[in-house]
Chain A
């Protein structure tokens, strides 16, 4: 299958390894990955901060860049959520009904990574090898906007060598919330403190999730404390093999 990658602006700029892992993983599974280079950002930060007019050109860009693609993969639950649940709304707010319809069409072919693997490609065992103690944090938008459910866990359980441990209070938000982390930094870090406590209680070496943003938040806190637990995106774990170790 020919799969277009929407890498997200965050992974592109700060976590290129997440995009690289997504490419490596899908190519290993026998698919062709394309990267339309005119892509930029889904506009979620603008939308969720109330700057819908500023989000509009980014919605248009996403639609124009990806509407000819058969299928799009995104290594992020929240960016997928924005494409699926906000793009048409933003277009309609400014009276662009035709754009809204186009946005809905491409949104229906846009998948978060674990959705693509399990629902579209039918792959749960992706042939990964990752000999570490890992705990999984279900990010809010993958959980409650996309309803990915246990798809990421089903993928992780099939990884060879992994010691997967359950995260207590897993479904509680880590406190990131985009600009919330800056506008309400004290509340955000209070939530982070509890999330880190849960992560550290598992004794895991690695906390994983399907969103680089939430991982940047949790990982930034753990790093500041020199807590000895790292954050690694789900794509990176699924892309790991015996050879890469």
Chain B
């Protein structure tokens, strides 16, 4: 199965995670903004989740629906295509980012429009649609407030739900003053003033746009209905005002029936914004004559999803409904922010999704960007066991790297040696005795400097010196010679 192609879109970083993380850790503004924002949203989520006595049952239902969908994805997608077409829409199938960009660019060109308005969408970031449109001379206007901040700041989103989480209001004011045409030069950094400036700027775009582009949170196979949930109402403007609407969605977003939406519309807002219900839920089925867009195109995107689906131990990552609860509880994400992950999908879910879309070797550092603390699994509204998938992808990386190299890596050699030693109690005890020379490195039971790669440990932490006697040596002294198991 083909992976998402290189050279297009935003699924691969320029640097491995540990290198990118180092720069992020040194950004004090980022650390403070992220700490504050994630702490607040964690508390809000916990409060609204605690209100529901059936939260665990809802999670299990969400998981079951997604499993059922993925097990029969082909037939649900064909059903969706059939229903959308029957209601006057046009369905396009895109194998990858390049195909999707080509389809969307062609559709916009066909309308003669030189500008489009966009609803906040992860998938169009994933495929690099804005860049593709720009290359064709088409200007894409992001209309989600945070996406607008990111776009005007010539920046990248750093959070699935809160793309400008790394910016504070003083920085936003500076970006608006610098980049927003016609902005009031006396703009202050109060939230109301910033929002009003964005409102005035965006309103002109909404009223003149002839083409709107969106992603989708859900697509219902039985009816052909698309669904977008949002907070600002700017998405609703894009979905209803232009004459042409183009929706790009990953093939895993389909759900079988209307009834299923009831589950996800409870899980999603509580997990993402910590709200009981999101302010705007827009749903449309094909084209309604005389009301809203009169031309509707649905682009179904693969871009590595079928490859992810082919891996039984990893495919649950496709259950993700992009709530970002896992980002907000992740102690790694909280300290590095999203850019360090290099992909539009950051945090724990990004660490399991991006490598599966691109092939593990193109994002080999991401499965290791976790302490496996498990906080992500606990909050996931569709019960994705992210820690287990991380371990599985680490194993895939080790296997693929071993196949690709003629000489094993130093780490692989060390791991094989440790396994060989530990597989035998005699060798193990001998190694313990050997390690006791490590005591020579120590002062008062502490080692302050170890050779590489363990120098990464002693850079910031003391290491314990091997004791005079291991436990098993003590046991033999106390209890006599080995029991009959040896």
Contact = CB atoms under 8 A, between A and B. Distances in A.
A185 B457 contact: yes
B456 A173 contact: no
Given A37-B472, A144-B377, A172-B331, A13 B432 contact: yes
Interface in A210-245: 216-217, 219-221, 223-224
Interface in B130-179: none
B397 A50 contact: yes
Given A173-B371, A221-B460, A186 B395 contact: no
Contacts of B21: 184, 186-187
A192 B460 contact: yes
A186 B371 CA distance: 12
B470 A13 contact: yes
Interface stretch (A38-46, A110-118, A149-157, A160-168): A38-46
A227 B217 CA distance: 50
Contact of B460 (A9, A49, A179, A189): A189
Interface in B440-486: 446, 448, 453-454, 456-457, 459-464, 466-467, 469-476, 479, 482-483, 485-486
Interface stretch (A51-59, A99-107, A121-129, A201-209): A51-59
A191 interface: yes
B368 A190 contact: no
A16 B467 contact: yes
B454 A140 contact: no
Given A40-B423, A58-B419, A187-B25, A176 B371 contact: yes
Interface string A12-46: 11111101100000000000001111111101011
Contacts of A179: 368
A40 B425 contact: yes
B95 to A, nearest CB: 30
A180 B372 contact: yes
Contacts of A14: 464, 466-467
A36 B482 CA distance: 8
Interface string A179-201: 11111111111111000000000
A20 B476 CA distance: 12
B482 A37 contact: yes
Q: Count chain A CB atoms within 10 A of each CB in B388, B462, B467, B473 and give the residue with the most.
A: B462
B10 to A, nearest CB: 22
B372 A54 contact: no
A55 B454 CA distance: 21
Contacts of A3: none
Given A173-B373, A192-B460, A220-B462, A36 B485 contact: yes
A12 B370 contact: no
Contacts of B460: 185, 189, 192, 221, 224
A11 B425 contact: no
Contacts of A220: 457, 461-464
Interface residues of A, number: 71
A106 to B, nearest CB: 14
Contacts of A141: 374
A140 B371 contact: yes
A131 interface: no
A143 B329 CA distance: 15
B474 A184 contact: no
A54 B418 contact: yes
B395 A184 contact: no
Contact of B479 (A35, A43, A144): A35
Q: Which size bracket describes the interface of B in this complex?
A: 35 or more
A41 B417 CA distance: 13
B440 to A, nearest CB: 15
Contacts of B395: 50-52, 93
B335 A183 contact: no
B471 A187 contact: no
B239 to A, nearest CB: 39
Nearest to B454: A182
A232 B445 CA distance: 15
Given A37-B482, A173-B331, A54 B415 contact: yes
B419 A57 contact: yes
Contacts of B25: 186-187, 190
B17 interface: yes
Contacts of A19: 471, 474-475
A183 B335 CA distance: 16
B16 to A, nearest CB: 10
Given A14-B467, A178-B372, A191-B335, 16 more contacts: A7-B471, A37-B472, A41-B422, A43-B422, A54-B416, A55-B419, A65-B485, A140-B373, A173-B375, A186-B21, A186-B25, A187-B335, A189-B461, A191-B331, A216-B463, A223-B446
Interface of B: 17-18, 21-22, 25, 331-332, 335-336, 367-375, 377-378, 388, 391, 393-398, 411-412, 415-416, 418-419, 422-425, 428, 432, 435, 446, 448, 453-454, 456-457, 459-464, 466-467, 469-476, 479, 482-483, 485-486
Interface of A: 7, 9, 11-17, 19-20, 34-41, 43, 45-52, 54-55, 57-58, 61, 65, 85-86, 89, 93, 140-141, 143-145, 171-173, 175-192, 216-217, 219-221, 223-224
28 contacts: A14-B464, A16-B467, A19-B475, A35-B472, A37-B425, A37-B476, A39-B425, A50-B396, A51-B415, A57-B419, A57-B423, A58-B423, A85-B388, A144-B377, A173-B373, A175-B371, A177-B370, A178-B371, A179-B368, A182-B454, A185-B459, A186-B25, A187-B336, A188-B371, A189-B461, A220-B462, A223-B446, A223-B462
